[in-house]
């Protein structure tokens, strides 16, 4: 089952985390921990296309859904990441309808978009699935998610959500609070968030966000977010290491 179908049928908020360390071992540990999905982060990490490909392959082989956040919608990022067989792509800093149309169009095959034919990639089972199945899966089962993380994007949320081919949306609260200088619980930001959630629900679109910890993730689910990323692999390891060292305390010799 692909992640898009799972989001529609799960009946609960799916829980994932970001992958920022270019190591397959962390992906395996996240799978064993019981996460539903990972988002391989090519925007804010040293992860290369090859590392992202191997992370996607490892995650899916262990039962994890795998999304990839690209650095931007330009160049060949969309095409090459989709050819890894990822469940979908997050595109950062989509600021309006025109941005959304360019990003979504790059992830759809003609005549709806401009994605090129790559049947012999992993997304096409190395050519074993046939062209028709490759095209169907690419257009019908791939998540195409813009990140709304700029003040102007939230003001244009309705127009963005109506972009043909868009089938998910992500609220980037971190950059949004940075850009506005406002806390996440600011009444104005909460109203914008509520409108985004209502608009996504009315259109049957999954809406995700990121959370710092488990309590914030529960709060996001209570508000209606259908997928949430808690922390990231580096943060999880760093906090566990710090907690362990602090618990050990000073160890004097006797």
Question: Any idea of the CA torsion for 38, 113, 97, 183, to the nearest 10 degrees?
Answer: 10
Question: Any idea of the CA torsion for 157, 158, 159, 164, to the nearest 10 degrees?
Answer: 110
Query: Do the domain assignments include residue 25?
Result: yes
Select from 71, 210, 90 the least CA-distant residue to 142: 90
pLDDT of residue 110: 97
Query: Do the domain assignments include residue 8?
Result: yes
48 neighbors 80 (Cβ within 8 angstroms): no
Query: Do the domain assignments include residue 204?
Result: no
Query: Do the domain assignments include residue 118?
Result: yes
Query: Do the domain assignments include residue 60?
Result: yes
The confidence band for 76, taking pLDDT boundaries of 50, 70 and 90, is: confident
CA 146/CA 159 separation, integer angstroms = 12
CA 52/CA 136 separation, integer angstroms = 24
- Residue 186 in this model has a pLDDT that exceeds 80: yes
**What is the extent of the structural domain holding 214?**
3-144+210-237
Q: How many domains does the chain have?
A: 1
CA 13/CA 228 separation, integer angstroms = 7
Q: Residue range 41-51: average pLDDT?
A: 97
Query: Do the domain assignments include residue 181?
Result: no
Q: Tell me the CATH number at 50.
A: 3.20.20.60
The confidence band for 87, taking pLDDT boundaries of 50, 70 and 90, is: very high
Query: Do the domain assignments include residue 79?
Result: yes
pLDDT of residue 1: 82
In percent, how much of the chain has pLDDT > 90?
A: 92
The confidence band for 104, taking pLDDT boundaries of 50, 70 and 90, is: very high
Query: Do the domain assignments include residue 247?
Result: no
pLDDT of residue 254: 87
At 109-158, the pLDDT tens digits run: 999 999 999 999 999 999 999 999 999 999 999 999 999 999 999 999 99
Select from 75, 67, 71, 93 the least CA-distant residue to 178: 93
């Amino acid at each position: 089952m692909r992640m898009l179908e799972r989001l529609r049928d799960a009946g609960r908020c799916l829980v994932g985390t970001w992958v920022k360390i270019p190591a397959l071992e962390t992906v395996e540990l996240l799978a064993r921990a019981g996460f539903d999905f990972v988002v391989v982060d090519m925007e804010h990490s040293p992860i290369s296309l090859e590392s992202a490909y191997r992370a996607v392959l490892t995650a899916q082989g262990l039962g994890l859904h795998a999304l990839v956040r690209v650095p931007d919608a330009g160049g060949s990022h969309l095409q090459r990441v989709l050819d890894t067989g990822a469940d979908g792509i997050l595109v950062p800093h989509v600021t309006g309808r025109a941005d959304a149309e360019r990003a979504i169009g790059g992830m759809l095959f003609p005549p709806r978009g401009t994605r090129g034919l790559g049947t012999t990639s992993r997304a096409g089972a190395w050519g074993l699935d046939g062209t028709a199945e490759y095209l169907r899966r690419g257009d019908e089962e791939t998540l195409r998610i813009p990140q709304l993380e700029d003040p102007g994007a939230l003001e244009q949320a309705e127009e963005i959500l109506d972009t043909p081919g868009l089938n998910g949306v992500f609220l980037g609260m971190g950059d949004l609070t940075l850009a506005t200088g406002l806390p996440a619980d600011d009444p104005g930001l909460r109203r914008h968030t509520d409108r985004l959630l209502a608009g996504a629900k009315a259109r049957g679109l999954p809406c995700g966000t990121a959370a710092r910890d488990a309590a914030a993730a529960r709060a996001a689910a209570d508000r209606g977010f259908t997928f949430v990323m808690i922390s990231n692999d580096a943060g999880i390891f760093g906090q566990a290491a710090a907690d362990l060292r602090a618990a050990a305390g000073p160890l004097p010799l006797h």
